[in-house]
Amino acid sequence: MTDAPVRQGSLREHNLGLVLRQVASAGRPPSRADIAAATSLTRATVSALVDDLIEGGLLTEVDPAPRAGAGRPAAGLVLSAAGPAGLGLEINVDYLSACVVDLAGSVRHQEVRHADQRPRDPAQVWAEVAELAASARARVEQEGLLLAGAAVAVPGLVTADGLVRLAPNLGWRDVAVPSSLAGVAVTVDNEANLAALSELHASASASQHSFLYVSGEIGIGAGIVLNGALFRGARGWSGELGHVAVHPDGPTCRCGAHGCLEQYAGQEAILRAAGAASLDDLRSRAEAGDPAAGEALAAAGTALGVTIAGVINLLDVEAVVLGGAYAPLARWLHPGVAGEIGQRVLTAAWSPVPVRPSLLGGDAAVVGAAGSVVRAIRDHPARWLAASTRHG
């Protein structure tokens, strides 16, 4: 209950967003008349707004689908495939990656470089990230796309002013993030948060208003979606699922505590227990029915399940998504996770909670980072139009 007066805001700003989202959510390219009908704005207002959005590179007209009956069909509108695009970058413990997503959400470029980042200095890592960013920019500008901004996903805690406060598995503490890369402004966020956002927007089902996204990399993070939005916590540090205790007296974790989930279900723990050299090796062995691989994955699934069941008892979320490296392993992790949920969640008997692999697999975080840039434009097109007029 707020006693503040309703803020007027700019009507044009509001309506630009309304028209753009109408195009984005339409099943087939809508005409100006379709948008006017759907939004209750006048035909003339819609036409003026659409002209501005076309001029700003956010919408494109396409040929109408032929149809029966009298009259020339009106041109349809789609989100521009040659307008602004978002650059996503990811720093993880054993790889760096880049990805560009256009306004329609399509991935237009992607590059991954596998290498252990732990022995490297943060400055070396940022230098290689800058290379990835520059090469992404060069590549997509050939296709007529314009980079609008960049977002970096990191496996750790970030502050509101763009510092990596702590990334235990990288060994980073208080590492600054470059203010620009490839000539565009940079924001930074936790990789599990960005992956969860990407899952939220990729999921067509509006029924999943709340879910726990579990990101399994060298570390384990979670993105918590409640009431249809990412829950970040009081200081932005929610989701440290990897440091929830499974066995309080268990082995020492990299964070200094005992028996954290990462010690049972982190990638390194699983590979060690399975005697596997890599995730690909683990998966091949599991597919071939190797008992050590099967047991290692079952044990990880059980540990994950104990922890996830606690989260469901606490938060009453509707679904669990296994993401990151867990997505391709979900087939073997699922029995342990589902079994523990069934036994431990008080409401499971009459209200089961489904567990499914991520729709985007291991790319969710970097795609989510790129997507966060274009979503900002889709949510506030007036800002983009104003900036492109100033610079253009």
- As a whole number of angstroms, the distance between CA 311 and CA 213 comes to 11
Count of positions on this chain that bind a second copy (CB under 8 A) = 56
The answer to the question of residue 316 lying near a second copy (CB under 8 A) is yes
Q: Say if residues 264 and 299 touch (Cβ distance below 8 Å).
A: yes
The answer to the question of residue 239 lying near a second copy (CB under 8 A) is yes
Q: Is 253 left (phi over 0), alpha (psi -120 to 50) or beta?
A: beta
Sign of the alpha-carbon torsion through 364, 383, 392, 189:
negative
Q: Could you say which residues in the range 340-369 bind a second copy, by CB under 8 A? A: 343-347, 350-351
- Span of 80-88, 123-131, 223-231, 328-336 interacting with a second copy by CB under 8 A: 223-231
The answer to the question of residue 224 lying near a second copy (CB under 8 A) is yes
Please report how close the Cβ of residue 362 comes to a second copy at its closest, in angstroms: 23
Site string for a second copy, 368-387 (x = CB under 8 A): -----------x--------
Q: Say if residues 339 and 298 touch (Cβ distance below 8 Å).
A: no
Considering beta carbons, is residue 131 or 318 the nearer one to a second copy? 318
- Span of 53-61, 87-95, 189-197, 304-312 interacting with a second copy by CB under 8 A: 304-312
Considering beta carbons, is residue 95 or 231 the nearer one to a second copy? 231
Q: Say if residues 186 and 179 touch (Cβ distance below 8 Å).
A: yes
The answer to the question of residue 75 lying near a second copy (CB under 8 A) is no
The answer to the question of residue 283 lying near a second copy (CB under 8 A) is no
Q: Could you say which residues in the range 135-164 bind a second copy, by CB under 8 A? A: 157
DSSP 220-271: EEEEEEETTEEE--SSS----GGGSBSSTTSPBPTTS-BSBTHHHHSHHHHH
The CA–CA distances, whole Å, from 232 to 47, 164, 189, 235 equal 39, 15, 10, 7
Burial of 281 (0-12, 13-18, 19+ CB in 10 A): middle
Choose, by CB under 8 A, the member of 108, 243, 283, 334 that binds a second copy.
Answer: 243
Choose, by CB under 8 A, the member of 77, 79, 151, 166 that binds a second copy.
Answer: 166
Task: State the number of CA atoms in the 13 A half-sphere of 162 facing the CB.
Answer: 12
Residues near a second copy (CB under 8 A) are 1, 3, 6, 17-18, 21, 39, 157, 165-166, 168, 209-210, 222, 224, 226, 231-241, 243-248, 255-257, 260, 306-307, 309-311, 313-318, 343-347, 350-351, 379
